Amino acid sequence: MPPTVVVVGASLGGLRAAEQLRAQGFGGRLLVVGAEPWMPYNRPPLSKEALGRGAGDGTAADLAAALAFRPRAAAHDVGWVLGRTAVGADLAARTVTLDDGTVLGYDALVVATGLRPRRLPVERPAGGRFTLRTADDAAALRREVRPGARAVVVGGGFVGCETAGTLAALGCRVTVVEPLPVPMLRGVGPELGTALLTHHREAGLRLETGIGVSDLVGRDDRVTGVRLDDGSVLPADLVVESVGSYPNVEWLAGNGLDLSDGLLCDNDLRVEGRRDVVAVGDVARFPNPRFDEVPRRVEHWCVPGDTARRAAATVVAHLAGAATSPEPFAPLPAFWSDQLGLRLQSFGAPRLADGADVVEGDLTDLRAGVAVVHRRAGRVVGTVLVNVPAARHAGYRSLVADAAHPVGHRV
């Protein structure tokens, strides 16, 4: 009987894993399980153009269809099990249990279950509160947006600032609350973060930084305000909670795994050395020898594709009884963000840096173009570009790629 591979997770990571398994020669039964009823779709536009471009006139299904990826030809015969959630797994028996009681057996398992949003630790009021992770989330938020609405975005990370900029463009009066001193601090560093804070304020956003949220105020179970740590209340018609995320790994409990921060993997994406289980995307915590040997999760759009390629190779080698590649898996992370007239592009891992230098432009004029190089112990580990023309991106990418050579040895 041909072997079966089950991929749990039907977002970008699950799609790319299925495509890569076929492209690398796996010809057995291939099933992809997804909690949403839609085929895989592109999530970054949910906080940007998809939110601002008439999403309120359609349903979540319309939005998911408009953003759907086109599967590659190699994956034409994949079986899709959509609208079903994995609720348990027995790795010793090689089975996955779904929420309708279905039990799927496998010869190899790919975990691509991704993330779900954190919420403020406040149960009530419930109405008027939103997260922004799925097509359902975006459609629900867009139905509430109207010119003049008072919107409070809790969290000044990349998604929070993108959402705030989109809501402002739709006519909302927007306040961003960020407990750290500047927005996007971990991703861009304090100097650029300070410049972005100034830019966003000048663009019309109200930003409350260095302060957190203690409670929500409401009437008839509908939010009317956000109470800050100093006791002040920001009036709010809607609240967007952009306060981080949790890896979806609880369904794997009881198998002796380290689930403290996603799934601990080796450099081949094998889950704690299990040859028949791999992880893909931002749920995978793996060492990247380009920087060091510390396992980390990376929540960038490029990571699902990079990890899917390596994880598929690991699965194919396992099923063939062959060794994995001797080359270290050392992807170069990259992300971008569009917000309030700025295009941010990053290569590498700026958050690992202990220092940064502006090598192009002036932080007082981000629109004219700025490039910041981030270093750790003198070695370049990342760059962040703001409004730098795309024709010059390759040079900054190479600056990181050439400096951060893979270290250590394969085991």
Question: Is 272 within a domain?
Answer: yes
Question: 388 to each of 351, 359, 371, how far by Cα in Å?
Answer: 20, 12, 7
Q: pLDDT tens-digit profile of 292-310?
A: 999 999 998 889 999 999 9
What pLDDT, on the 0 to 100 scale, is given for residue 42? 92
pLDDT of residue 334: 94
Q: Is the pTM of this model over 0.85?
A: yes
Q: With beta carbons less than 8 A apart as the criterion, state whether 408 and 328 touch.
A: yes
- Range of the structural domain that residue 145 is part of: 119-243
Domain end, chosen from 291, 320, 349, is at 320
- The per-residue pLDDT for 257 is 96
| Residue 354 placed within a domain | yes
Does residue 328 belong to any structural domain of this protein? no
Q: Quick one: pLDDT at residue 404?
A: 56
- 135 and 215 within one domain: yes
Nearest one of 213, 271, 263, 221 to 243, comparing CA atoms? 213
Query: Are 314 and 323 spatial neighbours (Cβ–Cβ below 8 Å)?
Result: no
pLDDT in tens, 259-285: 999 999 999 999 997 999 999 999 999
All residue ranges of the chain with pLDDT < 50 are: 55-56, 406-411
Identify whether 68 is part of a domain.
no
Kindly state whether residues 23 and 91 are assigned to the same domain: yes
Question: Reduced to 3 states, what is the DSSP secondary structure of residue 99?
Answer: coil
- pLDDT of res. 58: 73
Which pLDDT tens digit goes with each residue over 323-372?
Answer: 998 999 999 999 999 999 999 999 999 999 999 999 999 999 999 999 99
**d(C-alpha 286, C-alpha 273), whole Å:** 12
Are residues 201 and 179 in contact, defined by beta-carbon separation less than 8 angstroms?
no
Same domain, 387 and 349: yes
For the record, the structure tokens of 131 come out as: 């997260």
